[in-house]
Amino acid sequence: MATLDILRANLLSPIVLAFALGIFARLIRSELALPKDLYASLSIYLLLALGLKGGVELSESSVHAIAWPALATLFLGCLTPVSAYFLLRRLGRFNSIDAAGMAAHYGSVSAVTFIAAQQFTANMGATAEGFMPTLLTLLESPGIHIALAIGALKRAKLQTGNSETPAKSKGTILHEILTARSMILLVGGLVIGLLMGVKGYEPIKPFFETGFKGALVLFILEMGIVAATRFQDLRKVGFRLIGLGILLPILHGALGVLLGHWAGLSIGGATVLGTMAASASYIAAPPAVRMTLPEANPAYYLTASLAVTFPFNLVIGIPLYYQIALWLQG
């Protein structure tokens, strides 16, 4: 399939169209919005379904098959927050605290972007390996901790003996990240799927697979509405943040695809790993940053992750990473 055909197929997919509808509804000041309870229920359903399916697939995978991809994922989790911090400081000229706050988002992963990439590769006939949700959980928290550590060290240099964050809060932050809803549902679903296997999954498979695409469309519709609320902040943060919100996912995405290829992943798997590396968290990272680096400007990290990088990946990034994976496969 030609590049333009892939891009057209992605732009006309229900996910991208629903996202565009959400943005349009917000821009014309429509009252359209999903009830909070429904939004929460959809996120629980999607993440648990993802974890269950991944666990079932993992029950049929060998340790040998996942070892190298897991190492590649952990390496990405350590590298992306450092590279994001460096580029935000040098090219973006943000102060060390704001750069660390944004780096925490770019060092983590967006589960929604991951799901969209899974769906895209399946539509392209290049379904990713079943253990990809395991890699998602591996990538979620290391980058947050590394970026926050950088920010804490930089702040310590600026404030001598004047720390406002009690020592015990570090344990509290770690607890919040590890017990976050997304982490519990993904890891819990993986464990359940791994233990029950294919036979145990069969009775509940229709519920978790048949309705998955429809639930995702509704969820993405709401994400479009939320993203559009951040567009006004783009005027405050300027073109440097917009540029870096596009440059960082391209660099991280290309690196993720390359490492996925070297680790032996299929075209679909390398595409999804690249998308994971390219994505920016807007669920796990914000509360951790608010607690550890309260001085970091939320208009910067929320706008970058939600209003710039998320739509870029959804519309252009995922097809781009797929093309890179195809090129590497020869």
pLDDT digits (tens, 9 = 90+) for 59-80: 887 888 899 999 999 999 999 9
pLDDT of residue 2: 58
Cα–Cα distance, 261 to 244 (Å, whole number): 25
Distance of alpha carbon 290 from the chain centroid: 19
Contact residues for 182 (Cβ-Cβ < 8 A; gap 6+): 43, 47, 111, 140, 283, 284
> Is the confidence at residue 142, as pLDDT, over 90?
no
| Residues 46-56 pLDDT 10s | 888 888 988 88
Instruction: Note whether 249 and 284 are within 8 A (CB).
Output: no
Cα–Cα distance, 90 to 14 (Å, whole number): 38
pTM: 0.79
| Residues 100-118 pLDDT 10s | 999 999 999 998 899 899 9
Cα–Cα distance, 38 to 262 (Å, whole number): 41
pLDDT of residue 216: 87
Cα–Cα distance, 93 to 99 (Å, whole number): 9
What one-character-per-residue DSSP string does 92-120 give? S---HHHHHHHHHHHHS--HHHHHHHHHH
Instruction: Note whether 260 and 139 are within 8 A (CB).
Output: no
> Is the confidence at residue 1, as pLDDT, over 90?
no
Instruction: Note whether 131 and 58 are within 8 A (CB).
Output: yes
Of 51, 48, 38, 25, the residue nearest 194 (C-alpha)? 51
Cα–Cα distance, 40 to 36 (Å, whole number): 6
Q: How confident is the model at residue 173 (pLDDT cuts 50, 70, 90)?
A: low
| Residues 296-317 pLDDT 10s | 888 788 889 988 999 999 999 9
Q: State both tokens at 172.
A: 């509290």
pLDDT of residue 161: 53
The residue assigned the tokens 């994400």 is 223
Contact residues for 286 (Cβ-Cβ < 8 A; gap 6+): 105, 298, 301, 302
Q: What is the mean pLDDT of the chain?
A: 87
Provide the 10 A C-beta neighbour count for residue 223. 26
Which letter does DSSP use for residue 128 in this model? P
Q: How confident is the model at residue 167 (pLDDT cuts 50, 70, 90)?
A: very low
